[in-house]
Structure 1
Amino acid sequence: GYEQRRNELYSWDGMKRGTEPFLVIQHTILGEGRLDFGGVRHKLQMGQTMLVTMPHAHRYWLERGGHWEYFWFILSGREALRMAREVLAVAGPILQPSRDGAAHLADACHALLTRQLTPAQASVLGYQALAVLHDAAFAGASPRPALAPELARVLVHIETNLGGDLRVDALAQAAGLSRTKCARRMDRVERLLTASEMKVADIARVTGFADANYLSKAFRRHRGLSPMEFRAQRDEAV
């Protein structure tokens, strides 16, 4: 959609838009909006794009006497939400797409507004818009930091003992860490598998494993299941 708001009541609360998950992409053309995202306030200025998911503790609005011109997309679906959460985890809710990226967003919105599209064609345009934000978020991502020495020792132990003891106690001993610290790391992996749609490779990255393969082997030894099998149990329970 496309809208202009001038000196009027305009406010959306992310916790009061139903229980079905979806996401909003809103690109500012002119003027300025406001966003409170988890208690942190942001200005939404010309050329910036807001990304938020629902339900979530946020609110965006127009200040009294203000002017805000923007276009927006609403997307739903598991893959769209997964991509959105990846972007939010890296860049937060405000992005600055390149000039070409902003043009792609505008073209996609214009096509959705003016052309008669099949649901499949509309979905393609929506995902293209989300891909612009994904590119903007990860284009300037910092290089992956070197592994801490204790994690490097764990990886060596896993590589050389694939058929041996990869229980938490053994991994903790190899790392020179307490069993409690290693267990906490696995607990974090479990929470991310349960509460997010992050890829296993991304979970491996944020929890200190070299890649999805290493994490999967260690996780299977810890839980007797692969990460995806563990996540499937969550989905079956819903």
Structure 2
Amino acid sequence: MLSDLIAHGHQMQALTPARGPVDFHVMATGAGFERRANEVYSWEGLKRGDAPFVVIQHTIAGRGELDFDGTRHALLPGSTMVLSFPHAHRYWLERAQSWEYFWIGANGREALRLARAIIDLKGPVITPAPSAVDRMAAACLKLIAHPDPLSGETSVQVYAALMALHDGLFGAAAPVGPVLAPQLARTLSFVDAHLGEPLGIDRLARVAGLSRAHFVRRFSEEVGQSPSDYVFTQRMARATRLLVATDQPVTTIAEATGFAGGNYFAKAFRRAHGQSPSEYRDRGGR
């Protein structure tokens, strides 16, 4: 449980349990519960050696920053960063900021496969369900609370954390409709998490890791809409929900969903729904 880890207090532990005659495909390299504040804290993914490994890092309080393939992400409370190394990324603490988090490091073929699959499908920053966070925190606590764990024990805990992350993201539900390529699934998740920000074609192509022309063609073929039409549809759908479910001013909703001003939003809304946002709200979404 996360509350148990917090009660335990800040601690880091490097893990190098003695290997037996059998190699595991998931092994822990370290774990910790830390708080950083007003200090130089910066890690670059291409400057941590050539041996592949994985880091899962969950933010409890404060804020960290991540640059992943040229896209910047805010690491806020409730978000989990999943990274594989070596890779072109950097995460750091801004000056005068604080950041409290727990983390688990791992290596091994299966750890890398699972982490990279999650990154491909959901991106490097995700928001798992609270139950998954509790399971990851419990695994972290077991890794740092025992000074001399056996190799099998550390493998179990890392695998438990990865499976908790999987369950918190995908659950037991079967996929509905065709399964998208990982690059496009990652892009859809990114759009959903950044609707209030500029989402031009070039930015989305970078998230997908594809050239602009290749991205537009594949997106249109697999999603059934152009990237621009998809972003507009998602913005309008969220704005429509916010009009009915909240008392936020129309201009606030327009800004939160990425529309270029309240006037543009009102005109776009009228074209889509045949009435103004205020009329739609007054009629209870009818």
TM category (shorter chain) comes to 0.5 to 0.7
Aligned residue number for residue 123 of structure 1: 155
Q: Distance in 2 between matches of 1:102 and 1:35?
A: 20
Partner of residue 133 from structure 1, selected from 161, 165, 168: 165
Matched, 1:21 2:46: no
Structure 2 alignment gaps of length 5 or more:
1-31, 181-221, 223-286
Asked whether the 8 Å contact 2:80–2:126 carries over to 1, the reply is yes
Larger deviation, residues 47-56 vs 109-118: 109-118
Q: Distance in 1 between matches of 2:143 and 2:114?
A: 21
Q: Distance in 2 between matches of 1:136 and 1:103?
A: 10
Matched, 1:65 2:96: yes
Deviations 1:169-225 (A, max 9, x none): xxxxxxxxxxxxxxxxxxxxxxxxxxxxxxxxxxxxxxx9xxxxxxxxxxxxxxxxx
Aligned residue number for residue 144 of structure 1: 177
* CA root-mean-square deviation: 2.0
Asked whether the 8 Å contact 2:136–2:165 carries over to 1, the reply is no
Q: How far 1:141 sits from its partner (Å)?
A: 8.1
Q: How many residues align?
A: 148
Deviations 1:7-37 (A, max 9, x none): 1100000010000100100011110100001
Q: How far 1:117 sits from its partner (Å)?
A: 2.0
- Taking a change above 3 Å as real, the CA distance of residues 135 and 66 of structure 1, as seen in their structure-2 partners, is same
SS of structure 2 residue aligned to 1:127: helix
Q: Distance in 1 between matches of 2:177 and 2:68?
A: 27
**Percent identity, aligned pairs only?**
50
Residue 144 of structure 1 aligns with an amino acid whose one-letter code is G
Q: How far 1:81 sits from its partner (Å)?
A: 0.4
Aligned residue number for residue 108 of structure 2: 77
Q: Distance in 1 between matches of 2:80 and 2:175?
A: 21
Partner of residue 105 from structure 1, selected from 136, 142, 167: 136
Q: Distance in 1 between matches of 2:68 and 2:175?
A: 24
| TM-score of the aligned structures, taking structure 1 as reference length | 0.59
Asked whether the 8 Å contact 1:4–1:70 carries over to 2, the reply is yes
SS of structure 1 residue aligned to 2:40: coil
Q: How far 1:146 sits from its partner (Å)?
A: 8.2
SS of structure 1 residue aligned to 2:164: helix
Aligned residue number for residue 44 of structure 1: 75
Q: Distance in 1 between matches of 2:63 and 2:174?
A: 27
Q: How far 1:138 sits from its partner (Å)?
A: 2.4
Asked whether the 8 Å contact 2:65–2:93 carries over to 1, the reply is yes
Residue 24 of structure 1 aligns with an amino acid whose one-letter code is V
Q: Distance in 2 between matches of 1:146 and 1:131?
A: 21
Aligned residue number for residue 10 of structure 1: 41
SS of structure 1 residue aligned to 2:39: coil
Structure 1 alignment gaps of length 5 or more:
148-207, 209-238
Q: Distance in 2 between matches of 1:4 and 1:20?
A: 27
Residue 120 of structure 1 aligns with an amino acid whose one-letter code is G
Deviations 1:49-105 (A, max 9, x none): 100000001000001100000111110000110111111111011111211111111
SS of structure 2 residue aligned to 1:68: strand
Q: Distance in 2 between matches of 1:12 and 1:3?
A: 15
Runs ≥4 in structure 1, deviation > 3 angstroms?
139-142
Residue 92 of structure 1 aligns with an amino acid whose one-letter code is G
